[in-house]
């Protein structure tokens, strides 16, 4: 992850960029499913609950342009449960 904002926050908190990202998602009230077979990374992923991001840090992260990792076109078709983007996505984040 090559993002100066995340790098600065992670460095100032003594955390990894991944931990900062996971903490931000957690503070948004979103459920996160983390996957790793690396024991050290699994432990790092769990070390996001004993600290928090400041309101300023949350705001900085929220301003980072986001890109969806999965395009919704694969989720709807004429023969599937969702026929259109409007049926699939209600616009709520």
Q: How confident is the model at residue 93 (pLDDT cuts 50, 70, 90)?
A: low
pLDDT, greater one: 1 or 57:
57
pLDDT in tens, 19-66: 999 999 999 998 888 889 999 999 999 999 999 999 999 999 999 988
Q: How far apart are CA 89 and CA 82, in angstroms?
A: 9
- Any idea where the domains of the chain sit in the sequence? 4-88
pLDDT in tens, 7-32: 999 999 999 999 999 999 999 998 88
Q: Assess whether pLDDT exceeds 90 at residue 87.
A: no
């Amino acid at each position: 992850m090559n993002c100066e904002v995340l790098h600065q926050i992670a460095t100032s908190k003594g955390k990894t960029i991944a931990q900062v990202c996971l903490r931000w998602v957690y503070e948004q009230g979103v459920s996160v499913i983390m996957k790793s077979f690396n024991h050290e990374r699994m432990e790092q992923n769990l070390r996001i609950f004993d600290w928090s991001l400041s309101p300023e840090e949350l705001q900085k992260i929220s301003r980072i342009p986001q890109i969806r990792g999965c395009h919704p076109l694969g989720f709807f078709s004429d023969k599937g449960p969702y026929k259109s983007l409007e049926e699939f996505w209600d616009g709520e984040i």
